[in-house]
Structure 1
Amino acid sequence: MGPNTSMVFAGIELDTVQGECRLPQDKLLRCRSLIDTFLVRRKVMPKEIQSLVGTLNFACIVVVPGRAFLRRLIDLTKGIKKPNFYIRLTKEVKADLLVWKQFLDSYNGKTHFMDAIWHSSESLCLFTDAAGSLGYGGIFSSHLFFGEWPADWEVLNIAVLELFPIMLALEVWGHYLSNKQCCCRQRKDLMVL
């Protein structure tokens, strides 16, 4: 028997051939089961929420975008002093749990090893910009896109308009940026990604 290229370390399965870390099958099933239980209930105790938050927080090691969808669950337990008090699960909390379920089903708890180097927009040659009255554009190396705003968008806040070409750049060129750590910052005259 030769060397193994996959092993579980500290509760995370590491696979050197596929270059990814993922939740082991038992942890993935536990997360799904807990979420399903919460989705059918109307009220839960604080310790049950804390247990779910702890489980999902651990899963955030490999399900990186999941952390943003824990905030409402954590907020439910704030100010609760009685351990046997039942807390109502809001529709927003359940919507967050559905997002978690989607992450676990389609993302499957996998993430590739991230590049250790932080890339700037200059090193990637990736720039976006928006002008409230004119439109938007983006450049990535020798590729570019640009467009005019729909008439009803011209009244939107410039911060929203600046975000649009960034999101479009990620949609169009995101596969080139996978597993890279990129710094997004704003300069006076240019939104840089």
Structure 2
Amino acid sequence: MLLEFAKRKRASRRQLESLAGKLAWACRVIKGGRTFLRRILDQLHSLRKPTHRVILSKEFALDIDWWLRYLAVFNGTHKFIDPRPITDVHIDASNLASGIYYRGDWQYTAWAHDWPSAHPLHINHKEALSVLLAARRWAHKWQDCTVHIYTDSQVAMANINKGTSRNALVMSALRELFWLSVTHNFHIQASHEKHTQVTQWK
């Protein structure tokens, strides 16, 4: 089916539903599958009726290409990952900036100056992008590990754990996060944690 879609220029909603359904089922055992299903779903959701057809985008083709390349080498197993999690990675984001900290090392990112395209985004999206910033900086130190991230955003938690987002920039970040996790063989798991308020006494 993937080979057939790689040659297609157009497809109906019914055809896209069949493709997306099979790939969603495969995502249960294929790491990163959901991350490379988003652009297929975007094409599907652009059609209202089963018989309506759409010209398939270049972005759609990129997701199809990922599935074809990954299935060719995936043997149903993954490399060993230590189940004992790393829990001392700290991230937090505001509308102005992001802060990340891990074992004495830290990074401050001012959205408007360092990542202008992220500056207008909702705080939930900025929280998810902060996880990518942490992975870019410390992926080489997370080799063969499970990394437990705490976030005060349930949206960011869902983005990280499911590997998907409807926001294009966040989706691009999740794809990069996936490739970092494969390259350095680590697994990220996000949990929701409400920040406690600290009263400052003068």
TM-score (norm 2): 0.50
CA distance change for structure 1 residues 149 and 179 in 2, over 3 Å: closer, same or farther? closer
* One of 54, 69, 74 as aligned partner of 1:88: 54
Partner secondary structure for residue 28 of structure 2: coil
CA distance change for structure 1 residues 173 and 54 in 2, over 3 Å: closer, same or farther? same
Partner Cα distance (1:167, 1:71) in 2 = 23
CA contact (8 A) 2:13 2:44 kept: no
Partner secondary structure for residue 127 of structure 1: strand
Mapping of residues 71-82 of structure 1, within 5 Å: 71-72=41-42, 74-75=44-45, 78-80=48-50
The unaligned stretches of length 5 or more in structure 1 are 1-33
Partner Cα distance (1:106, 1:186) in 2 = 40
CA distance change for structure 1 residues 148 and 38 in 2, over 3 Å: closer, same or farther? closer
Mapping of residues 173-184 of structure 1, within 5 Å: 173-174=138-139, 175=142, 176=145, 177=147, 178-179=186-187, 181-184=189-192
**Identity within the alignment, %:** 19
CA contact (8 A) 1:137 1:145 kept: yes
Give 1:64 shift: 3.8
- Which amino acid in 1 is paired with 2:195? R
Partner secondary structure for residue 124 of structure 1: strand
1:55-80 per-position Cα deviation (integer Å, ceiling 9, x unaligned): 21221012243235142354366422
CA contact (8 A) 1:138 1:169 kept: yes
Give 1:170 shift: 2.3
Residue 2 of structure 2 is matched in structure 1 by 35
* One of 151, 154, 172 as aligned partner of 2:137: 172
Residue 20 of structure 1 is matched in structure 2 by none
What is the Cα-based RMSD across aligned positions, in Å?
A: 4.0
Give 1:172 shift: 3.1
CA distance change for structure 1 residues 71 and 64 in 2, over 3 Å: closer, same or farther? farther
* One of 100, 104, 129 as aligned partner of 2:92: 129
Higher mean C-alpha deviation, range 150-159 or range 96-105: 150-159
- The structure number with the bigger radius of gyration is 1
- Which amino acid in 2 is paired with 1:55? K
Partner Cα distance (1:170, 1:184) in 2 = 18
Mapping of residues 100-179 of structure 1, within 5 Å: 100-104=67-71, 110-111=77-78, 124-130=87-93, 136-140=98-102, 142-147=103-108, 149=110, 152-153=113-114, 156-157=119-120, 159=123, 161-174=126-139, 175=142, 176=145, 177=147, 178-179=186-187
Give 1:38 shift: 0.7
CA distance change for structure 1 residues 43 and 105 in 2, over 3 Å: closer, same or farther? same
The unaligned stretches of length 5 or more in structure 2 are 148-185, 198-202
TM-score (norm 1): 0.52
1:28-77 per-position Cα deviation (integer Å, ceiling 9, x unaligned): xxxxxx22321211233555434322321221012243235142354366
Partner secondary structure for residue 64 of structure 2: helix
Give the count of matched residue pairs.
146
